[in-house]
Amino acid sequence: MTTQELVDQIHKKQSFLCIGLDTDIEKIPSFLLEEKDPIFAFNKAIIDATHDLCVAYKPNIAFYEAYGEQGWSALRKTIIYLNKNYSDIFTIADAKRGDIGNTSTRYAKAFFEDLNFDSITIAPYMGRDSVEPFLQFKNKHTILLALTSNDGAFDFQTKKFEDKELYKEVLSVSTTYEGAENLMYVVGATKAEYLKEIREIVPNSFLLVPGVGAQGGNLKDVCEYGMSKNIGLLINSSREIIYASDQEGFSNAARTKAKELQQAMKKELERLH
């Protein structure tokens, strides 16, 4: 999917919601455990109930890897289902990979070609040659961790690095990478006050913002400081939506939560755009 197609979807759906598919066997409705593939059954129900309210889904790969071959099979079925039935959806493999060149190429092929995701999250610590292999794929997007929403972000990311904080150095340096036009960034919403400075470095890039809701971020602030002329925001919510209920009507409950967020986003789009 091109960036412009993503922007078009945001306008069409009046939503920049990304739903995180952090699917956990211990948290899904227990009656689904009778299904042949409970993880896929859960994902399918959530997707069918919410696809018109969001523009992206983000399976967190750890949750699938935790179930080994079965988890990978459920992940594969989920992405095939999305690509087949909802080709207007932007798909994100939340993998946070990053390795030396030939290994990064492996990961890029696995997620972009084999599984056919639109994008993948990548950790920046290993630098240029760990990121560039992902940037060579046309119409595929690499979402680099810049400023994460967890407490550990203060360990290194926000410390001063020569004359600026590490996360700003990551943003700046990454814009010089070959294929940098395919970069997006993870920016935790719990630090909305940082967004203004981030926008000075990457004025037009898409930002994937976790942490609105459960992790304490504020939608209005994020939009105020983070929205670009092309919107440039994907706001992720995972547990609050997908685990809204563990009873029969769980997918409707997820829809209700997603709708609340979509409506709030619609307001922000009307207010700021």
- Choosing from 63, 112, 134, 194, the residue that interacts with its own copies (CB under 8 A) is 63
Query: What is the C-alpha radius of gyration for the chain, rounded to an integer number of angstroms?
Result: 18
- Choosing from 11, 12, 30, 65, the residue that interacts with its own copies (CB under 8 A) is 65
- Choosing from 145, 184, 201, 231, the residue that interacts with its own copies (CB under 8 A) is 145
Shortest distance, position 237 Cβ to its own copies, whole Å: 14
**Which residues in 207-266 contact its own copies (CB under 8 A)?**
none
Cβ neighbours of residue 27 closer than 8 Å, sequence gap 6 or more: 243, 246
Torsion sign across C-alpha atoms 127, 143, 179, 130 = positive
* Residue of 36, 58, 77, 96 with catalytic role: 96
Which of these ranges, 59-67, 193-201, 221-229, 254-262, lies near its own copies under the rule CB under 8 A?
59-67
Compose the 173-212 pattern: x for residues touching its own copies by CB under 8 A, - for all others: x---------------------------------------
Token output for 5: 């197609």
If one asks whether residue 134 binds its own copies (CB under 8 A), the answer comes out as no
* Residue 84 is a catalytic residue: no
If one asks whether residue 91 binds its own copies (CB under 8 A), the answer comes out as no
Q: Any idea what DSSP says for residue 215?
A: T
If one asks whether residue 34 binds its own copies (CB under 8 A), the answer comes out as no
Of the pair 26, 270, the CB lying nearest its own copies is at: 26
Of the pair 67, 86, the CB lying nearest its own copies is at: 67
Q: Do residues 155 and 196 make contact, with C-beta atoms less than 8 angstroms apart?
A: no
Segment holding 218, helix H or strand E: none
CA dihedral in degrees (55, 263, 259, 27; nearest 10)?
80
Q: Do residues 74 and 81 make contact, with C-beta atoms less than 8 angstroms apart?
A: no
Question: Got the DSSP string for 64-121?
Answer: HHTTHHHHHHHHHHHHHHHHHH-TTSEEEEEEEE--SHHHHHHHHIIIIIIS--SEEE
Token output for 3: 């960036």
Of the pair 22, 52, the CB lying nearest its own copies is at: 22
Token output for 197: 């400075």
Shortest distance, position 132 Cβ to its own copies, whole Å: 9
Distances (CA, A) of 7 to 89, 111, 203, 212: 11, 22, 15, 20
- Choosing from 98, 217, 226, 232, the residue that interacts with its own copies (CB under 8 A) is 98
If one asks whether residue 161 binds its own copies (CB under 8 A), the answer comes out as yes
If one asks whether residue 164 binds its own copies (CB under 8 A), the answer comes out as no
Q: Which of 219, 220, 254, 257 is nearest to 235 (CA)?
A: 219
The single residue listed with the structure tokens 């407490």 is 151
Shortest distance, position 232 Cβ to its own copies, whole Å: 23
Interaction site with its own copies (CB under 8 A)? 22, 60, 62-63, 65-66, 68-69, 72-73, 76, 96-101, 103-104, 106-107, 109-110, 114-115, 123-131, 145, 148-157, 159-162, 166, 169-170, 173
